[in-house]
Amino acid sequence: MNTTKAVLPVNLLNFDRKGLSAFFVNMGEKPFRATQLLKWIYQGNITDFDQMTNLSKSLRSYLNTHCTITAPEILLEQIASDGTTKWVLEMGLGNRIESVFIPEEKRGTLCVSSQIGCALACTFCSTAQQGFNRNLSVAEIIGQLYVAQKRLGDSKRITNVVMMGMGEPLLNFDNVVAAMNLMMDDFTFGLSKRKVTVSTSGIVPAMNRLNEACDVSMAVSLHAANDELRDQLVPINQKYPLKELMATCKEYANQGPRKHITFEYVMLKDINDSMQDANELLKLLKEVPAKINLIPFNPFPNSDYVCSSKQTISRFKDILYNGGIITTIRKTRGDDIDAACGQLVGKVKDKSRRHLKLQQMGLANAI
């Protein structure tokens, strides 16, 4: 019986420029072939190797035989009344993820997923209730930007990317960094490092690694100003408590010309929205260059939480602002198509038994 396994073609979207250069060098080609290929794919929207006319015929033949350029497939597109667009993308084996484009007057922001589901079990987030299946590959991450820009065309440009979709980006560290490097590469999308933001729930060791690996903006999902409450809302806080997280944030902000770290704070009625909470937040962030983004809670089925009133949110903002911290209230976008913050769910076949194993997951081993 023949037990030889079929060799799958190499998906070239899985490489940033450094990785693609190494790929070509290992083939006996010059490293500059990577730049040529990136320009064809990302700037020329060419995926047919035979049309890449500055590559030799022998190289094109090899690529046709051994390689592919395959991005995720869009299964569903929904456009909200405010112009926000959500795409449901097929990830295979019954799994799906979601990406969201938010148009504004002077910019267009794409919210990108990094995992199928999420293992961190934040109690106010619909995505976190779906369980966890696996990390996304580089191709599946950068592919979200690739297919979104192709779908939007020249009329709507993506100027900003936030790694705030499904999943915890820093638990998929290597693939997320490679994808963000591609986003900022001059031969692909050429995004400014200030316009690519990675959002984390506070994976401290990975935040320290990111300082050395990739210069991007940082957002931290905070949501509470003391350990007792944050342990409940963001369970990873039990592993990396606030004192450790704040020290890491301060160090990250002080590296290079960064001005601040954005702290995300979801507003939950009678949970974390008191004036005492606001003053406690001021005290927590007094030594960290910070900007606070207050997020009105977006409801989802079977949630026990309620959004704080507009008056409470406004009063909360005033305390922070008067305390010297730049504070904004996030405008809810795309909530009529479940595309608002915390509402992305996709379709996830949970493989983590998350609720049983969260304390035993050994998350540090994943980074």
Extract the tokens encoding 197: 């933001």
Four-residue CA torsion sign, 245, 361, 128, 178: positive
- Per the document, the length of the chain is 367
287 is catalytic: no
Catalytic residue among 73, 98, 111, 244: 98
Catalytic residue among 111, 122, 125, 341: 341
**Spatial contact of 34 and 17, defined as CB atoms under 8 Å apart:** yes
Closest among 80, 136, 81, 82 to 346, alpha carbons compared: 136
212 is catalytic: no
Which residues neighbour 44 within 8 Å (Cβ) at sequence distance 6 or greater? none
Rounded Cα gap, residues 53 and 333, in angstroms: 43
Rounded Cα gap, residues 105 and 155, in angstroms: 12
**Spatial contact of 272 and 223, defined as CB atoms under 8 Å apart:** yes
Which residues neighbour 86 within 8 Å (Cβ) at sequence distance 6 or greater? 77, 78, 80, 98, 99, 100, 101, 334, 337, 338, 339
Rounded Cα gap, residues 21 and 329, in angstroms: 43
Four-residue CA torsion sign, 87, 90, 94, 100: negative
Closest among 214, 195, 285, 208 to 252, alpha carbons compared: 208
Residues marked as catalytic: 98, 341
